[in-house]
Amino acid sequence: MQIKTEIARIKDQDCKLYTLINDNGMEVSCLNYGGIITKILAPDRNNNFENVVLGFKDYEDYTSNPAFFGALIGRIAGRIQESSFEIDGKSYTVPENDGPNHLHGGTPGFHKAIWEAEPFEGSDEVGVILTHTSPDGENGYPGNLKMNVTYTLNNNNEFSITYEGTSDQKTALTVTNHSYFNLSGNLKSDILDHNVTLNANKFVELDSALIPTGNILPVEGTVFDFQSGRKIKDGVNSDYVQNLNASNGYDHYFLFDNQQENNVVVVDEHSGRTLKVKTDQPGMVMYTSNNLPEQLQLQEGPSKRYLGVCLETQASPASLHHQGFPSVLLDKDEKYYTKTTFAFGVK
């Protein structure tokens, strides 16, 4: 196990790139700028190590990063309807950055913060602890919020993200990572033939602006039923209004059933790579890069639609406006703690 540290020049500042390496040769690289995961090298069935996430060729491009490649997202992951919410009868307004709505914490959000970083090494795991304080009132959110996010890689080829936070006022908080996974390796193909199994029997209905309507729908009988596994292209090619609202694909919150060991399993038959996701979060947004801008300069070539799938484990910001959704409220001095593990394997 080892960690390599390099200087990455971003926004005229010396940021740091940390590369976590386990004894099998798997690597996870991340920046302290935005907590951005820039590269994950994982083996295929022939033990060829290739990159399985989307990342820019030039680190400076992360200063704009319209697609949020690899970034930590907060304080609120997802969209807040009409850029406002109430906590205990008091109204809060957050910046509009997605039409009239608020997306992924605004700017400066967690994805553009320079986090303090402390690497660590153990006998069977390596990692880095990222620390950031968001002041009271930043982007309209109440409370001084202290966050710790820990990235850990072990010798079982498991990459874990642990999120911890406390606020000195009651606030709204749900944090995720916005990595785009592509198990083909070095972006050799899109993700339309990736087979996904989700332990979820319900999903959240969206309107044409991708805002939850307040309805929670059963997956049965629709292309949102991933309980026995299905390919992503089923939803891309579907004429179901929910897929059309998401620009031909998925950008929806699935509520986990939590009856199985893994909440999510993704398989690429060609490379043999598998990705199993286990989380204590109540649900996940699966985004299939339907609106990914084209011609962004990635490490392996230009970006295009359907080049990656995001597995954004989180609570639901719809809970700020509707009943029956997993809450994003955090009480004063309450400890926010959640963990998601991405286990890479082959079949």
Of 132, 178, 194, 252, which residue is the catalytic one?
178
**Mean residue pLDDT across the chain:** 97
178 is catalytic: yes
Give the mean pLDDT of 133-156. 98
Contact 309, 272 (CB under 8 A): no
User: What pLDDT sits at residue 108?
Assistant: 86
The model's pLDDT over 25-78, given as tens digits with 9 standing for 90+, comes to: 999 999 999 999 999 999 999 999 999 999 999 999 999 999 999 999 999 999
pLDDT above 90 coverage of the chain, percent:
97
Indicate the burial class of 150 (C-beta count within 10 angstroms; 0-12, 13-18, 19 or more): middle
Of 27, 138, 158, 312, which residue is the catalytic one?
312
pLDDT above 70 coverage of the chain, percent:
100
- Token duo for residue 44: 């295929």
The model's pLDDT over 169-215, given as tens digits with 9 standing for 90+, comes to: 999 999 999 999 999 999 999 999 999 999 999 999 999 999 999 99
321 is catalytic: no
* Interatomic CA distance for residues 15 and 31, integer angstroms: 7
pTM comes to: 0.97
* Domain ranges (residues) in the chain: 2-191+285-346
User: What pLDDT sits at residue 12?
Assistant: 87
- Token duo for residue 214: 């307040």
* Interatomic CA distance for residues 312 and 298, integer angstroms: 21
Work out the pLDDT band at 132, boundaries 50, 70, 90. very high
- Token duo for residue 173: 């908080």
Q: How is domain 2-191+285-346 classified at the CATH fold level?
A: Beta-galactosidase; Chain A, domain 5 (2.70.98)
Residue 244 has pLDDT above 90, yes or no: yes
